[in-house]
Amino acid sequence: MFNTLSDRLSESFKSLRGKGKLSEADIDATAREIRLALLEADVALPVVKDFVGAVKERARGAEVSGALNPAQQVIKIVNEELITILGGETRRLRFAKNPPTVIMLAGLQGAGKTTLAAKLALWLKAQDKSPMLVAADLQRPNAVQQLQVNGERAGVTVFAPEPGNGVGDPVSVARAGVEEARRTLHDVVIIDTAGRLGIDEELMAQAAGIRDAVNPDEVLFVVDAMIGQDAVNTAQAFLDGVGYDGVVLTKLDGDARGGAALSIAKMTGKPVMFASNGEKLTDFDLFHPDRMASRILDMGDLLTLIEQAEKNFDADQAAKAAEKLQSGDFTLDDFLDQMQQVKKMGSLTKMLGMLPGMGQFREQLDNFDEREIDRIEAIIHSMTPGERANPKMIDGSRRSRIAKGSGRTVAEINQLVDRFFEARKMMQQMARGGGMPGMPGSPGMALGKRSKARQAPQAKKGKGKRVSGNPAKRAQADAAQPAAPAANPFGLPGGPGADFDPNDLPDLSQYLK
């Protein structure tokens, strides 16, 4: 979503690189580029003015003029100001001292509240909570059924006493839902309410009635991040009509410019608490202002990447794979297990996008085919257990059979097997502390032309003596052959332990004059 803004900000910083000191003109030009970048991203005008003003004021101060690298200091200032307008700190849910904790969702029609209710329930379930969904959206057709389906996918209880489609009293349903959760010992209740327009006073009053009836611990305003600057007006209308404690941004994976995320927290004073960035129920997490600012400035989000890896990777299985790598027993079955664990983390494109500096490879990431892992799985599943354990036995006829079984070509089977051997060799070398193959200073690195030229010339080798193909005869011949004297480690005449004779040294008198 923030691709356009990220690209524009990166361009604005290029002119600062390599400058030992920033002039007033440099600061003004950079501030102008930042202002244009924010306006193009649909950030509200008051937020743009405050942001650019703060950056210019700090850029003229001592923290930049006295810095060793002024350009990096300006980027640091922009990063800190972005964190500020995004809310400053990560805001977490407040749980009631006496369960259940009641969370009420409110927002516009089409913002994605019903799907988000199930996402939030699944997220809370992973936090060792026992959530229950309450279907209080009795206005929209099939809203109750949609919540039941999503609740079943998330594996959580759904309280839906009314069929909806315009039938039933949402205030009574919400009140009964809290009582049912208390009776069945659910510690969190999530109430899904009907979507409404900011100008619809009747529906606004209904939402206020639900709030008064259940006295929620948290009221979350769900907003579509793709609606641009109008999100601020809508957020303010809901704040005045219903009131809320935090904001949830949906559809952050869209192609809009993301101005809503940068405007709402600053304009309303209410923090963004959660972000939904995909269609899957797992595409949901806490909103971290510092991490979002880092992504916008193309500095990556390694903390989120590490958290996802910790949640999805089995530590014991990873340790066993490392042991197998060191012992040389790493097979295609182990490779498949690692691929499946990576797949659990979600979209590879999103994960790669969290690495610093990946903005310059955005076109390649956009063209990356996520189904490549599925194709690799199909190929490996078409192999016999023996072939997976020992890929060297896969000859031409076996490759042809595997290709037919997986629906791929023989060339793709060849590529997979060759890449597996190359990857295994590289990972074994890294696991044993050998470094990256081909990197300077790494064992086994091939010598370049200059290195070869500096080597001392070697005498041409003559024809070697004939060696018997019989191992027994070869051993006898080696035993009869007298051992060659060991070379002196210092390059002096004679082997180790030989008497040193100064007369054997070359004439060095010319160097002593």
The secondary structure of 219-282 as a DSSP string is EEEEEETTSTTHHHHHHHHHHHHT--SEEEEE-TTSSS--HHHHHHHHHHS--EEEEE-SSSTT
Question: Is residue 113 part of an annotated ligand binding site?
Answer: yes
3-state class (DSSP) for residue 355: coil
19 annotated as belonging to a binding site for a ligand: no
192 is in an annotated binding site: yes
Going from the C-alpha of 168 to that of each of 145, 150, 173, 178, 212, the distances in angstroms are: 14, 21, 8, 17, 18
Residue 499 labeled ligand binder? no
Annotated binding residue 194: yes
In the chain, what's the furthest Cα-to-Cα distance?
114
Report whether 512 belongs to an annotated binding site.
Answer: no
Whole-number Cα distances in Å, 300 to 290, 304, 307: 11, 9, 14
Contact 100/187 with Cβ under 8 angstroms? yes
- Neighbouring C-beta atoms of residue 165, cutoff 10 Å: 14
Using DSSP bridges, classify how beta strands 272-276 and 284-286 pair: parallel, antiparallel or unpaired: antiparallel
Contact yes or no for 106/193 (Cβ under 8 A): yes
Determine if residue 110 is labeled as part of a ligand binding site. Answer: yes
111 annotated among ligand-binding-site residues: yes
The burial class, CB within 10 Å (0-12 / 13-18 / 19+), for 416 is buried
Query: Residue 394 and residue 405: Cα distance in Å, rounded?
Result: 14
Is 446 annotated as ligand-binding?
Answer: no
Q: According to the annotation, is 108 in a ligand binding site?
A: yes
Instruction: Report whether 137 belongs to an annotated binding site.
Output: no
**One-letter amino acid of 81:** E
Residue numbers in the known binding site are 107-114, 192-196, 250-253
Residue numbers in the known binding site for GTP are 107-114, 192-196, 250-253
